[in-house]
Amino acid sequence: MTEREAALTKEVDELKEKLSHTQRQLDLLVRHVFGKKSEQTPAPHPDELDLELEAENEAIEGAPPAPAAKAKGGSRKGRKVRAALWPEHLPVEETILVPLCVQQAGELYREIARDVSERLERQPARLIRKRLVRPVYQLTGEPHRPPVQAPAPPNIIEGGSLGVQLMAGLVLDKYLHHQPLYRQARIIEWESGVKLSAAALCQSNGRLADAVAPVVRLMAREMWAGGVVQLDLTPVRCLSREHAGGSFFGQMWVSAAPGGDVIYHWDKSKEARVAAGIIPAGWSGILQTDGGSELACYLRGGKARGQPPNITRAACRAHVRWKFFEAAKAGCVKNARLLKIINTLYRIEGGASLLGPAGRTAMRQRRSVHIMRGLRRRMEAVIRDERPRRPAARACLYTLGQWAGLQTYLEHGEVPIDNNGVENAIRPCALGKKNYLFIGDVGAGERSAIFYSLLGSSLRRGINPGEYLHWLFTRLPVTHPKDHTKLTPAAYAAMHQQTAPSPAQAA
């Protein structure tokens, strides 16, 4: 073969590789737009894995059986069971239907039985005018004395015309149910005939955010006082006349403590300096992040700060799993095998969920360490056998690049296996973007971050966010700033746990 033929053959091979890569990218895009987003895969059979990964077999054999599917149906018994689950405190509006013949000649009939059926109904919201009257009194026999009057109760918005319950509902609908304020104003007008301008609602919303901001800052200090924090960010389009096209992509930075509060921070940039402003100076602990470039730049010390912070990074295994999942969907048999091994690590975590940090560390050292070693050997073999642009090799190269962070959770039981805790905290903001599409200005982004922090922390602690907002808006004006620690979602949840009756008392 001549040199020209060899060069042509090499060029043809490269073009085929580029074409194959382009086709895989097209298939990935089609699956992303039209396919299922779930990453669920069938559990592997114990005999499919090699003997060198015996810990995998133990995890598979010890996995709890899948719950049996519940039978579906609309039988009379099922309707009675559903009716029995409705709360007893719901008011009952009863309607008795009497046949016309009985109404005309009731003395000729007697009732022998009744058929009762119930259905849930909803009434439109009802607005009321809550009038506060403060009479002024004067002593009749001593008119020279100054008059007396009951002091006005403090309000979270001084001089505001909206009640606490209404303001809590507006915040809840905007930041949890993703209804913009102009839609809420239209709904109120349709239901009650009261016209509230969207500008007035926005102004009240901004003053509310300023009032509760100290509580959120206190929540952030308490979160960073812990040793483990998860951090991620998501883009949000923001309107601005200063940018070409009238808008730009700002960033909602989200940090969360495992099992604790979640704090949102809005900024126009995704540079590493923003992370340096969010994370307290001198903080030392474990920061769990994905492989994003902005967070990696921060952990390397950035360009301006020079020395890296005293922080240990924990990587996200869910992002690693997604790489192998996409490669397996593209038909890579080797990656499908590696994906089964990663799933085994997750099944081990399912058995360790009820253990404390020390127990999880011991279980991971006993079972997960061996699987990680076998996983690395297999990935190195794949890299040797596959071309670098193949999906199998790309997934393995990404995983090996994150390997030091992936090892962190093996030695620290308080660190989750992945960053899904903060990913789930981002979900309300991501759902909101699909509804309101953009935020009005930079100040609106900061207000959104404040309310997302309160609502997200309430949901993570299992408390009713609407009831918490009403309680917060009522208590905040009469609470001294040094006692704001008693107004956080954590304090509210602890208070309700103390006042809630135990199962034995309820019985």
% of the chain residues with pLDDT over 90: 13
Q: Give residue-wise pLDDT tens across range 343-371.
A: 888 888 887 777 888 888 898 888 888 89
Residue 372 lies in a domain: yes
- pLDDT reported for residue 303: 54
Average pLDDT over residues 46-68: 46
pTM above 0.85, yes or no: no
Instruction: Round to whole Å and give the CA distance between 466 and 66.
Output: 35
Chain centroid to Cα 51, Å, comes to 40
Res 43 pLDDT > 70:
no
For the ranges 388-392, 393-397, 478-482, the lowest mean pLDDT is seen at 388-392
Mean pLDDT along residues 457-464: 90
Total count of domains within the chain: 1
* pLDDT in the model for residue 37: 56
Q: How confident is the model at residue 149 (pLDDT cuts 50, 70, 90)?
A: confident
Question: Does residue 351 lie within any of the structural domains?
Answer: yes
Using pLDDT thresholds of 50, 70 and 90, give the confidence band for residue 381: confident
Round to whole Å and give the CA distance between 69 and 126.
Answer: 41
Per-residue pLDDT reduced to its tens digit, 309-346: 678 888 888 888 888 888 877 777 777 888 888 888 88
**Confidence (pLDDT) at 100:** 92
Residue 352 lies in a domain: yes
Domain-embedded: residue 486: no
pLDDT tens track for 260-311? 889 999 888 888 888 888 888 888 888 888 877 677 777 776 555 544 567 8
Tell me which residue of 197, 168, 198 sits closest to 180, measured CA to CA: 198
Query: Is residue 369 in a domain?
Result: yes
Asked whether residue 321 is domain-assigned, the answer is yes
Confirm whether 381 is domain-assigned.
Answer: yes
- Above 50 in pLDDT, residue 51? no
Q: Which of 14-28, 163-177, 379-393, 410-424 has the lowest mean pLDDT?
A: 14-28
Looking at the predicted structure, is the pLDDT value of residue 71 above 60? Answer: no
Is the pLDDT at 47 greater than 70, yes or no? Answer: no
Q: Is 230 helix (H, G, I), strand (E, B) or coil?
A: strand
Where residue 327 falls (left for φ over 0; alpha for ψ -120 to 50; beta otherwise) is alpha
**Between 163 and 82, where is the model more confident?**
163
**247 — pLDDT class (breaks 50, 70, 90):** confident
- On whether residue 309 sits in a domain, the answer given is no
CB-CB contact of 226 with 285 (8 Å)? yes
- At 206, which helix (H) or strand (E)? helix 198-224
- DSSP per-residue letters across 158-189: TT--S-HHHHHHHHHHHHTS---HHHHHHHHH
Distance separating alpha carbons of residues 498 and 507, to the nearest angstrom? 17
Q: What percent of the chain has pLDDT over 70?
A: 84
Q: Which structural domain range is residue 377 located in? A: 317-418
Helix (H) or strand (E) segment spanning residue 33 = helix 3-34
Give the Cα separation of 501 and 482 in Å (integer): 30
Average pLDDT over residues 111-127: 82
Task: Say what the pLDDT of residue 68 is.
Answer: 46
